[in-house]
Structure 1
Amino acid sequence: MGEKERNDYFYVCALIEYIARETRNHRGDIVRTIGKKGIEKLLCDAEVNHCLSFEQVSDEVISYYKITRGEFDTISGCRYSVPSFLDIGKLYSIMIEDCAEKGKEVEELIKIFTSFISDAISDFNSDLYYQNPDYLEWSYREGHLLD
């Protein structure tokens, strides 16, 4: 994955995290609603969209894909400092780069965001986000949090 692609995936992952927080949805629900073609479009538009505010792009995506408000609130009840949507986006983009076969990055993005690891990372009352990225990657690959 080249630098431009890496930046595009980082942007789209951060955008998904931002939208999920704004709409109180599971990250997997956002990805399923947008769909593979929508993710591909967001990646294609990322270079231009990153010049705009996340709020504006988020509003446009929410409106276009008719993303409704959910009840998966990971922020208001958090007892600890919440990592930024950019920090979480970076984590996801690293996992995609490490786990995806060449040419199957979009499919890997969808698999990661719709797997158990996404809700686990979103539990900001746990210390999972702060774990070694290798631990998160191998937990995802194994299908459960490793002991």
Structure 2
Amino acid sequence: MTEKERNDYFYVCALIEYIGRETRNHRGDIVRAIGIKGIEKLLRDAEVNHCLSFEQVSDEVISYYGIEQGDFDTLSGCKYSVPSYLDIGKLYSIMVEDCAEPGKEAEELMKIFSSFISDAISNFNSDLYYQNPDYLEWSYREGKLLD
């Protein structure tokens, strides 16, 4: 993966996290609403969208894909400092890079955001986000949190 591709995946992963927080949706619901073609378009447009605010791009994506408000609130009941959407986006982009077969990164992005690990990471009352990225990656690969 090139440095530009890394940046594009980081941007799109952070955008998905941002949209999830704004609309109170599971991140898997966001990627399913956008679909694989939409994810691929966001990746193609990422270099240009970097110049715009997350708020603007988020509003456009929410409107275009008809993403409605949900009830998956990961922020208001949080007792601890919440990692930024950029921190979470970086974590996801690392997982995509490490887990995806070359040429299948967009599909892997959708799988990761749709898996159990995404809701587990979104539980900011746990320490999962702070775990070693390798632990998160291998838990994802195994389909469960490892002991």
Normalising by the smaller structure, the TM-score range is: over 0.9
Structure 1: distance between partners of 2:101 and 2:37: 19
CA RMSD of aligned residues (A): 0.2
Residue equivalent to 1:77 = 77
Identity of aligned residues (%): 87
Amino acid at match of 1:15: L
**4+ aligned runs moved over 3 Å, structure 1:** none
Is 2:38 the partner of 1:38? yes
Matches within 5 A, 1:6-25: 6-25=6-25
**Shift in Å at residue 138 of structure 1?**
0.2
Confirm or deny that 1:143 pairs with 2:143.
Answer: yes
Aligned mates of 1:20, 1:50 — CA distance in 2: 18
1:91-145 CA-partner distances (Å, limit 9, x unpaired)? 0000000000000001100000000000000000000000000000000000000
CA distance in 2, matches of 1:121, 1:90: 12
What are the residue-to-residue correspondences of 1:1-147 with 2, within 5 Å? 1-147=1-147
TM-score by length of 1: 1.00
Residue 76 (structure 1) shift: 0.4
Unaligned runs of 5+ in 1: none
Alignment deviations for residues 65-99 of structure 1 (CA, whole Å, 9 cap, x no partner)? 01000000000000000000000000000000000
Aligned residues, how many? 147
For structure 2, list consecutive stretches of 5 or more residues without a partner in the other structure.
Answer: none
1:7 alignment partner AA: N
What's the CA shift for 1:19? 0.2
